[in-house]
Amino acid sequence: MIELVAGNPVQAFVQQVVSGLASGAVYASLALSLVLIYRAMDVANFAQGEMAMFSTFIAYALITTFHFPYLLAFALTIAISFGGGVLVERTVIRPFEGSSVLTLVIITLALFSIVNGTAGLIWGYVFKTFDSPFPFGSVHFQGLYIGYQDLGIIGVTLVVLALVFVFFRYTKLGLAMRAASLYPEASRLLGVRTGWMLAFGWGISAAVGAVSGMMIAPVVFLDPGFMQPVLLFAFVAAVLGGIESPLGAVVGGVLVGVLLALLGTYVPGGQNLRIAMGLVVIVAVLLIKPAGLFGRSEVRRV
């Protein structure tokens, strides 16, 4: 994301904020996929980034090996990722339903290395390039140069977030998934198959994660480790926003993206401090406001 640096300092600042928004959008969608699973089973899925990486490799294979047009590959990848997420829950997670948090964390760590190793086995460890679906160049606006790439990432992410919101807010299945994650026993008494709701949650989460992978891939190089820094910042975003809040994940993602962009520009050597910065944010949130910006305690009548 090389931008033409605008002449005056205010413009330069705004320029950095905008480019931070684009990477923030990627962190936001991966953070959202983390939060979706966290809400459903109280466990952070450490394999979330690797699953998104695998999805992105599927898109890569569809485009370069099978010569699918980008849009078709994009849609197919989302569908395959959804199916993959459901499958992973049914086969890997389900046998450990009701296990302790520690057990589940270890399972997701195991999943992390399995997915990573499998991708390495299939696609190798040589860096690959993933062509951008968006045109080169940028829009010129009020002295700012905003890359089509950035605009595209922000636009696609907004659409995905809106779809996720509408699904959970306005559809019957979305409602049942919320009910099942908050009140599993009461939901089963209403006929809800809570196990499948959890599997769908994994599916949707994997699909949202796939979008984040496909959006960041053209900006970085593709290798089985390429989503690991993104996962770290998605974690920072989720903790900052409140690990149980989808809205918090999104706001957290955007904040982290902007913060990192500004850090890289205004702090000497800031590029190398990104990971340290992420960890500082996590520690600060946990010390000052452990529930995060949007983490709320339950509404309860006193």
Which residues of this chain interact with another protein, rule CB under 8 A?
Answer: 172, 175-176, 178-179, 182-183, 185-194, 298-301
- Kindly state the tokens that stand for 134: 């968006």
Write down the least CB distance from residue 164 to another protein, Å. Answer: 18
Residue reference for tokens 């409140």? 242
67 vs 300, which CB is nearer to another protein?
A: 300
Distance CA 130, CA 218 (A): 5
Write down the least CB distance from residue 33 to another protein, Å. Answer: 21
71 vs 299, which CB is nearer to another protein?
A: 299
The SS3 call for residue 235 is helix
* DSSP label of 3: -
Write down the least CB distance from residue 187 to another protein, Å. Answer: 7
DSSP output for 54-103: HHHHHHHIIIIIS---HHHHHHHHHHHHHHHHHHHIIIIIGGGTT--HHH
Distance CA 200, CA 98 (A): 18
Write down the least CB distance from residue 39 to another protein, Å. Answer: 11
191 vs 269, which CB is nearer to another protein?
A: 191
Write down the least CB distance from residue 267 to another protein, Å. Answer: 41
41 vs 115, which CB is nearer to another protein?
A: 41
Judge contact between 127 and 221, C-beta under 8 A. Answer: yes
> What does the chain come to in residues?
302
148 vs 165, which CB is nearer to another protein?
A: 165
